[in-house]
Amino acid sequence: MALTTYLEAIRQGIWEEMERDERVFVLGEDVGVYGGAFKVTKGMLDHFGPERVVDTPISESAIVGAAIGASYLGMRPVAEMQFIDFISCCFDQITNFAAKSRYRWGAGVPIVIRGPSGGNTHGGPFHSQNVESYFYNTPGLKIVQPSTAYDAKGLIKAAIRDEDPVLYLEHKYLYRRIKEELPSEDFVVPIGEAAVRREGSDLGIITYGAMVYNALDAADILAKDGVETEVLDVRSLQPLDENAILETAMKTNKVIVLHEACLTGGAGGELAARIAEKAFDFLDGPIIRVAAKDTPVPFSPPLEEYFLPQVDDVVDAARKLLAY
């Protein structure tokens, strides 16, 4: 069986959902003729036609506004942000219209807003951000970030089928680097379920997205010292699989929360607070956060490397915690 990249898995998931449900369509900048900036929508215009693969003006607020309106008319739009950084332009539509629609008058907004996020590709401060925490404080939104090709496909399918708005964050560093065999049959990955990527009892690393691989690499290094590290991939930030997070904390007694977004105000603070509130008696040391520096993402490759959490940063934090 051929290996499928993370990017191709997303493309397959969208394609299959468009075949399955004629209400599903895609819209965004250059998604049609060009096939998307990263080629996620390659071939879709020729196959599905211009009514279901819609090239839009360069206006993220218009894209999301049109998607919300189409959802009210029974459609299921998949809106692409060419880079997820530009989602800030449509913050009002997402937080005050899409997220609150069901609460205000019972109308679901079954839209997916997807786009490439994250750094380590030398894209600079406007093409490398992680935006999950911007929206984390907004009830009514679901937020997911897959780390594997299997999850990339399963979560995009689940997001499209969901009756409420989903922010689908895809890490562009993983697009063509991560590959695996995918089942030929239809499948979804349920939103709101974490996944244990590595079992361990001495230390827990709770993370998501591209940082899953930093955590696994750190676990390999620590294993040489006899340390068994558990790596939990949250996958879904909203809703959060709190039970899985607490199980890892209670099992390992020492926890690192790792994410690529900046430290201050990042999702790691919420995860740490949940553990502190509900699993404090099981902890044998402080909850340690490992995250990016509190600066814009540097363009310079050496500075970006310094800015982003590295495997050595995780290993150093782990050794300090283990010695506590």
Positions marked active-site: 127
Please check whether residue 276 is in contact with residue 232, taking contact to mean a CB–CB distance below 8 angstroms.
no
Handedness of CA 248, 169, 315, 311 (dihedral sign): positive
Amino acid code (one letter) for 141: L
Any residues with CB less than 8 A from the CB of 259 and at least 6 apart, and which?
130, 207, 208, 209, 211, 266, 267, 268, 289, 290, 291, 309
In terms of C-beta density within 10 A (0-12 exposed, 13-18 middle, 19 or more buried), how is residue 49 classed?
exposed
Strands of the chain (E only): list them: 4-5, 24-28, 53-55, 76-80, 112-117, 142-144, 166-171, 179-180, 195-198, 203-207, 229-233, 236-238, 255-262, 288-292
Distance CA 208, CA 201 (A): 19
Please check whether residue 296 is in contact with residue 308, taking contact to mean a CB–CB distance below 8 angstroms.
no
User: Could you tell me the CA-to-CA distances from 253 to 248, 276, 307 in Å, in that order?
Assistant: 8, 11, 29
Which residue, among 99, 317, 55, 110, has the nearest Cα to 207 in the 3D structure? 317
Ramachandran category for residue 122: left, alpha or beta (phi over 0 → left; psi -120 to 50 → alpha): left
Please check whether residue 146 is in contact with residue 113, taking contact to mean a CB–CB distance below 8 angstroms.
no
User: Could you tell me the CA-to-CA distances from 246 to 35, 67, 177 in Å, in that order?
Assistant: 42, 37, 31
Q: What angle do CA 262, 283, 234 make, to 5 degrees?
A: 45
Amino acid code (one letter) for 117: S
